[in-house]
């Protein structure tokens, strides 16, 4: 950040966070960093971490699923695809070819947990603009829908 400021490539950097879950021995945090360049261009990067509160250890996607990475990736990508297909304005929100991009841009480390009165949600997120300029970038998947692999 400091070198970016010295190079005048970043004028401003803002960060925010949201605690998605703080229960069941876990804390899950979703963070965003927004940088504004000297030309006024805005860049947003999202991050998330989930920790075990007992020992502070970082929990990764593999820790939550009972199947291998390829199997849970297939299930998660399919669930995200189903959510998008159910959207009324999907053609206006998502770039053409989004079906391929949902799979190609999927990153097993881009997730966090979200506590919900109806149960836990496993939230898969993409970076802003990856699926379309105005497209939503996060998809909350009810853990109950993932019971076979969760």
Q: Enter the pTM of the model.
A: 0.89
pLDDT tens sequence for the chain (150 residues): 455 545 556 678 899 999 999 999 999 999 999 988 878 888 899 999 999 999 999 999 999 999 999 999 999 999 999 999 999 999 999 999 999 999 999 999 999 999 998 889 999 999 999 999 989 999 999 999 999 998
Strand partners, 59: 50
Q: 144 near 49, Cβ under 8 Å?
A: no
The per-residue b/e assignment along 72-98, b for 16 or more CB within 10 angstroms, e otherwise, is: bbebbbebbeebbeeeeeeeebbeeeb
Q: How far, in Å, CA of 19 to CA of 81, rounded? A: 26
């Amino acid at each position: 950040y400091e070198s970016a400021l010295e190079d005048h490539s970043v004028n401003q950097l803002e960060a925010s966070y949201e605690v998605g879950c703080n229960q069941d021995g876990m804390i899950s945090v979703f963070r965003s960093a927004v940088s504004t360049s000297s030309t006024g261009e805005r860049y947003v990067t999202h991050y998330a971490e989930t920790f075990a509160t007992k020992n502070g250890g970082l929990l990764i996607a593999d820790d939550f699923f009972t199947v291998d990475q390829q199997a849970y990736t297939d299930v998660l990508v399919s669930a995200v695809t189903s959510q998008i297909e159910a959207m009324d304005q999907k053609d206006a929100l998502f770039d053409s070819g989004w079906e391929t991009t949902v799979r190609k841009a999927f990153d097993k480390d881009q997730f966090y947990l979200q506590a919900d009165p109806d149960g836990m949600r496993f939230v898969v997120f993409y970076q802003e603009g990856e699926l379309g300029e105005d497209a939503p970038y996060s998809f909350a998947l009810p853990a109950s829908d993932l019971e076979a692999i969760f």
